[in-house]
């Protein structure tokens, strides 16, 4: 019988359901099980692709081009679970599918209702993933908060699945909040009310993950168990971790979360191997050397906007046995004169400019690219970060002072970055970019070829604009070298500065496939170069 674990949340949002679900998945994998992860989002958008980063954080892209919630990025970093559009379910998708079937006459004239038609479709989507060959456990994170009207159809589908499959095959895990009041006292009332709401829907939680600023005293855990009808050992203390989120699986394991889940699902409990996670935590918390990386972007105010990039930089540090300190710089607010730039980047060992859309803050990014190029600071540009390298080089070296991307200046006399040909007549912005995994050919003698050590790579894309081939030869001859291209040589995939220690821009998004236990080679190489630069600067200062 297929096994399912449903993770719900109560009291308020942003308590960490995604990391909790991913941590549980990693623990089950450490015991040799094959798991699948699903994220259910109650918003009516079909996917996350058209959402502002300020609304929903970054958009995570899968191999098959699905634009999804950032929690799928957590799943990818914490587990080996295969991820595709099947693993991201939204209200918009479910209603779109049901309405399409109604228009086709599939319901044979019956009145189409939330129950059973919407809930049946939700269950079908979940079971389609759980029924994949070789899957032991499917973990489903239900977005939103218990009590939200948007979440009701999904929670009703969960209730039905518990009833249909039985308590030994379906487990309900509820993440809730234990706030501390002014005198530090931990209060259980919000958790009691949250569980009450969940039980009114018809779902009795088997396990509670109690978010709190500090570990819960045993007396408090017993009180929570008494009021919520949850066994004492099922009340898990999800206390704040100060070091790194990669310590969270170890925190849950010490309290027996994975063992309890397997026992209640009537499964064997194989021996675990957590050495990989232990090494990651050891490096992040105890590394002697620190590398300081400036992330220069336009969505800096919300930390989740560049979640995968931030984490991939940490992974690069783990691979080099160094701690990475991230310095966030808002490109829109950056003073661009040389003296101000020197102050802003004092003590910085490497600069990363991530992706983004729209012209706001781009001139600041262009100035940063020039500063990194001229000062020989390791620079890594991703998507838009590569395109600003092109704009800067065309303005500064080719002397096309009005060079720009047609995204920002449609009538630019020197459109060095332009819209993909197939995008010219596109009117619908949802899911129409160049999305998902595709191959790139790495050219001989280039930095990017040396890093990957192979000719053909496969990376994920999410963009509408490309380096204009009309300027490709001029840029190459002037010293902005093409490092990789599409398999048919038609489009530029990466660029690098000639005679620079480490200046690389890529059109794809390598951050999406980086893991703490297996850093992406580009991030590993970038952090290594930044570390070397920092050591050289320190040596020069000592010599002076």
Instruction: Write out the catalytic residue numbers.
Output: 383, 509, 511
Tell me the CB-side half-sphere exposure of residue 68, using CA atoms within 13 A: 29
User: 535 and 542 in contact (C-beta within 8 Å)?
Assistant: no
Distances (CA, A) of 224 to 207, 208, 228, 273: 11, 9, 6, 31
Structure tokens at 104: 């086709």
Torsion over CA of 3, 80, 37 and 434, rounded to 10 degrees? Answer: -150
Q: How many CB atoms lie within 10 A of CB 474?
A: 15
Rounded to 10 degrees, the C-alpha dihedral 535/536/537/538 comes to 50
Question: Rounded to whole angstroms, what are the CA distances from 524 to 183, 355, 381, 497?
Answer: 45, 19, 15, 19
**Could you tell me if 10 and 230 are in contact, meaning their C-beta atoms sit under 8 angstroms apart?**
no
Q: Indicate the angle between helix axes 17-30 and 71-78, nearest 10 degrees.
A: 20
239/63 Cα distance (integer angstroms): 34
Helix (H) or strand (E) holding 372: helix 362-375
Going 177 to 181 to 183 to 188, the CA torsion angle's sign is negative
Q: Are 185 and 212 in contact (CB under 8 A)?
A: no
Cα separation, 225 vs 216, in Å, equals 12
């Amino acid at each position: 019988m297929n096994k399912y674990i449903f993770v719900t949340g109560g009291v308020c949002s942003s308590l960490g359901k995604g990391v909790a679900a991913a941590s549980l998945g990693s623990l089950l994998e450490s015991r040799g099980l094959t798991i699948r992860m699903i994220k259910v989002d109650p918003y009516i958008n079909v996917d996350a692709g058209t959402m502002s980063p300020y609304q929903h954080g970054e958009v995570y892209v899968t191999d098959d081009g699905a634009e999804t919630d950032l929690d799928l990025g957590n799943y990818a970093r914490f587990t080996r679970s295969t991820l595709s559009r099947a693993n991201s379910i939204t209200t918009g998708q479910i209603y779109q599918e049901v309405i399409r079937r109604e228009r086709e006459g599939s319901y044979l004239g019956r009145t189409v209702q939330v129950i059973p038609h919407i809930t049946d479709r939700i269950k079908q989507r979940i079971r389609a993933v759980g029924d994949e060959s070789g899957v032991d456990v499917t973990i489903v994170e239900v977005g939103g908060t218990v009590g939200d009207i948007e979440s009701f159809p999904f929670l009703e589908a969960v209730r039905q699945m518990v009833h249909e499959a039985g308590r030994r095959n379906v487990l309900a895990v509820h993440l809730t909040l234990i706030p501390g009041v002014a005198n530090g006292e931990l209060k259980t009332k919000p958790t009691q009310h949250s569980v009450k709401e969940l039980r009114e829907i018809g779902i009795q939680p088997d396990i509670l993950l109690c978010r709190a600023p500090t570990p819960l005293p045993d007396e408090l855990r017993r009180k929570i168990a008494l009021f919520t009808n949850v066994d004492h050992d099922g009340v898990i203390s999800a206390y704040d971790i100060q070091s790194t989120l990669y310590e969270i699986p170890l925190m849950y394991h010490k309290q027996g979360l994975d063992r309890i889940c397997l026992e209640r699902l009537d499964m064997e409990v194989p021996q675990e191997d957590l050495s990989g996670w232990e090494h990651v935590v050891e490096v992040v918390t105890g590394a002697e050397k620190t590398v300081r990386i400036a992330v220069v972007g336009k969505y800096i105010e919300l930390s989740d906007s560049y979640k995968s990039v931030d984490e991939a930089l940490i992974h690069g540090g783990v691979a080099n046995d160094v701690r990475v300190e991230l310095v966030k710089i808002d490109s829109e607010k950056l003073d661009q004169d040389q003296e101000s730039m020197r102050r802003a980047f004092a003590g910085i060992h490497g600069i990363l400019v991530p992706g983004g859309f729209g012209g706001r803050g781009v001139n600041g990014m262009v100035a940063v690219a020039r500063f990194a190029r001229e000062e020989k600071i390791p620079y890594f540009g991703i998507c838009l970060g590569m395109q600003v390298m092109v704009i800067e080089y065309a303005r500064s070296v080719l002397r096309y002072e009005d060079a720009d991307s047609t995204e920002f200046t449609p009538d630019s006399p020197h459109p060095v970055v332009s819209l993909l040909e197939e995008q010219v007549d596109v009117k619908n912005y949802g899911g129409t970019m160049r999305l998902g995994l595709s191959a790139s050919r790495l050219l001989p003698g280039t930095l990017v070829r040396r890093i990957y050590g192979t000719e053909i790579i496969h990376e994920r894309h999410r963009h509408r604009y490309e380096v204009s081939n009309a300027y490709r030869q001029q840029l190459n001859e002037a010293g902005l070298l093409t490092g990789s291209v599409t398999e048919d040589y038609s489009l530029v995939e990466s660029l690098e500065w000639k005679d620079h220690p480490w200046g690389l821009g890529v059109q794809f998004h390598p951050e999406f496939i980086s893991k703490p236990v297996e850093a992406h080679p580009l991030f590993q190489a970038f952090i290594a170069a930044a570390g070397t630069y920092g050591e050289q600067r320190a040596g020069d200062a000592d010599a002076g």
